[in-house]
Amino acid sequence: MPVGGRKVAPQVVELEEARVTSTISGREWDVSGGPSRMLMPRVLTDYTQRGFEAIRALAGGESLEWCYGCGKCVPVCPVDLVGEYGPRKLHRMVQTGTNLFEADQLWMCTTCGNCLRVCPKQVNMIQIMPAVREVAVADGTIPTELQGVMEKTFRYGNALGENPRRRHAWTKGAGVPVRVLSQDPSPVDVLFYVEDYWSYHPRGQQAAQAFARVLNAAGVDFAILGAEEKTIGDSQRLAGEKGLFEALMEDVVATLERYEFRRIVTPDPHGFNALVKVYPSYGHHYEVLHYTQLLAPLMSSLELTNPIDAKVTFHDPCYLGRHNGVYDAPREVLRAIPGLELIEMGRCRENSYCCGGGGGGMWLDGFNGNHLSERLSERRVREAAATGADILAVCCPYEVSRFEDAAKSTGNEHLRVLDIAELVDMAMAPALAGQVG
C-alpha cells in the first residue's frame, strides 16, 4: 500500500447466482441469495434499553450495561455454581425486559467480588447491587427477613436484635480481665472492635473469649467499647441500607472520638472493609487491623505448648482476601501452631469460594433457597471435607455458625469448624491436649 495513500475498500459484488463445487465430493452447491447480512444494518428488536436507563441513572449502577457478554464472570460466580447467576446473566435478564428492582435475583449476589476480578469491562457488582437495592429498600420491596435485620440494627445497634447492655456479657467467661473503656477510659494501644457475632452468638462469644486470652498472654494492651459499641453495618450498606450505615457511622465515630487508642483491631472482615475503605471516603481515618494481622507477628512470642496434630484447611473470607488483599496473615498464624498441617482447598486465596454470608446473604438463606440447589456454605463445606481435613479454620464471625450448620446438613459432622483464635488458644492450653483431631 502506498505510504500516505488512501485505502480503497474492494467493491462488493452481489452475484445473482453463485455456485461452488466441493473439492471432496465434486458436488455443486448453490450459495446464491440476497445481499449479505453482514453488510446490512441490523434491526434490533429483541432487547430493550429501559432497564439499563433506570440502573445507569443510579450512582454506582453505570457499569451493568458495559457487559459485552464474554462470559468470564459466570464460571467464577459462587452463586452460579449452585444456581443460575453471574453479571452476564443479570445483564441479559435486564436486556430482555426483567425489572431488576423487583426481581428475586437482586438479593442473590453476595458481593463476593470474584466476577470483578476477571471482568474485562469492569462491570462492578459491588457498586451495582447496593445502588439498585437502595431503591428497592426505599420502595419497600425488600425480603421480609432482611427488613427484620434492618429494623433490629436500627433499634438495637446490632443485627441480632440483642440488648446493647449485654454486648460485653461474653467477657465474664473469658477467664482474663477485659477492660471496658467506659469504666476505665485511659489511653489504650488496641481498641478491640468486637462486632455483633463475636459479641452475641454463642460460638462467636467462644472465639471472642479465646482471642482475649491470646491477647492477654501476648501482653497486648487492649480494651473494648462494651455497651457503647454498635455494629459498623457494612453488610447492611451492601444490602441497600446506606442511610442506616451512615447513621451508624456517625454514632461509631462520635464514640471513638471519646477515647485515645492507637489502632482498631476487629475480627469482622466486613467491619474491617468499611473502616479501611468506606470510612476514609467520609473523612474518617483510623489505623485498622484484622485480628489475624495483629496475631501473625505475635505468634513467636506465645508459648504454644499444646501441639494440634490435625489437618486443617482454611477458608478465605471474601471481604478479607479478595476485597482487601489479606491472604497471608491467617496462614502465618496457622503455620505457627505446632503440629498443625495446613492443606489448601482448590478454590483458595483470590479464587476462594464464598460462604454465602456477604452483602446481606447472611440473612437471606431462606429467601435465596428457592433459587439454589444448595447453600453456598454447604458447597464450601463439601470442598473442605474433600481435602481430608479434620478442621475447617475460619476468621470471620459469620462463618463458624454457617459452616457448622452446613457440616451437619451435608453429613460432614466429623469436620470441626474452629475460629483461628480458638486454635491459637487451644495451642496455648496444655489442659486441652488431645481434644483436637
CB 396 within 8 A of CB 269: yes
User: For residues 79 and 225, which CB has a smaller minimum distance to ligand SF4 in the complex?
Assistant: 79
- Amino acid letter, 238: L
CA distance 182 to 290: 23
- Does 82 contact ligand SF4 by CB under 6 A? no
- Residue with Cβ nearer ligand SF4 (77 or 295): 77
Q: Which three cell numbers stand for residue 79?
A: 452463586
Q: Where are the beta strands (DSSP E) in 79-210?
A: 179-180, 188-192
14, 48, 49, 69: which one binds ligand SF4 (CB under 6 A): 69
Q: Residue 221 CB, nearest distance to ligand SF4 (Å)?
A: 39
Q: Quick one: which of 322, 306, 307 has its CA closest to 76?
A: 322
At residue 121, φ and ψ (nearest 5 deg) are: -105, 5
Instruction: State which residue, 222 or 319, has the beta carbon closest to ligand SF4.
Output: 319
Q: How many residues bind ligand SF4 (CB under 6 A)?
A: 28
DSSP state letter for 42? P
Shortest Å distance, C-beta 270 to ligand SF4: 14
Q: Which residue has the cell 446481606?
A: 360
Name the one range near ligand SF4 by CB under 6 A: 25-33, 68-76, 251-259, 283-291.
68-76
Judged by CB under 6 A, the stretch of 18-26, 66-74, 146-154, 261-269 that binds ligand SF4 is 66-74
Dmax (CA) for the chain in angstroms is: 96
Q: Is 347 in the site for ligand SF4 (CB under 6 A)?
A: no
Find the part of the chain contacting ligand SF4 (CB under 6 A) among 82-90, 160-168, 227-235, 238-246.
Answer: 82-90
Q: Which of residues 97-136 bind ligand SF4 (CB under 6 A)?
A: 109-115, 118-121, 123, 125
Residue 70 touching ligand SF4 (CB under 6 A): yes
Check binding of 233 to ligand SF4 (CB under 6 A). Answer: no
C-alpha cell read off for 140: 419497600
Least distance (Å) between residue 374 CB and ligand SF4: 15
Please name the residues in contact with 191: beta carbons below 8 A apart, sequence gap of 6 or more.
181, 222, 223, 224, 225, 256, 259, 261, 263, 264, 265
Are the beta carbons of 404 and 417 closer than 8 angstroms? yes
Q: How is residue 244 written as a grid cell?
A: 442506616
Q: Say whether residue 392 binds ligand SF4 (CB under 6 A).
A: no
Q: Which three cell numbers stand for residue 317?
A: 473470607
Q: Among 51, 61, 83, 87, which residue interacts with ligand SF4 (rule: CB under 6 A)?
A: 87
Residue 360: count other Cβ atoms within 10 Å of its Cβ. 28
Judged by CB under 6 A, does residue 420 bind ligand SF4?
no
Scanning 49-57, 85-93, 183-191, 401-409 for contacts with ligand SF4 by CB under 6 A, the matching segment is: 85-93
Q: How far is the CB of 105 from ligand SF4 (least distance, A)?
A: 10
Distance between CA atoms of 148 and 95, rounded to whole angstroms? 32
- Which residue stretch of 72-80, 142-150, 262-270, 326-334 sits at the interface with ligand SF4 (rule: CB under 6 A)? 72-80
68 or 282: CB nearest ligand SF4: 68
Residue 174: closest CA among 432, 437, 435, 425: 425
Q: Which residue has the cell 471481604?
A: 319
CB of 375 to ligand SF4, least distance (A): 13
Contacts with ligand SF4, residue ranges (CB under 6 A): 67-73, 76-79, 85-88, 109-115, 118-121, 123, 125
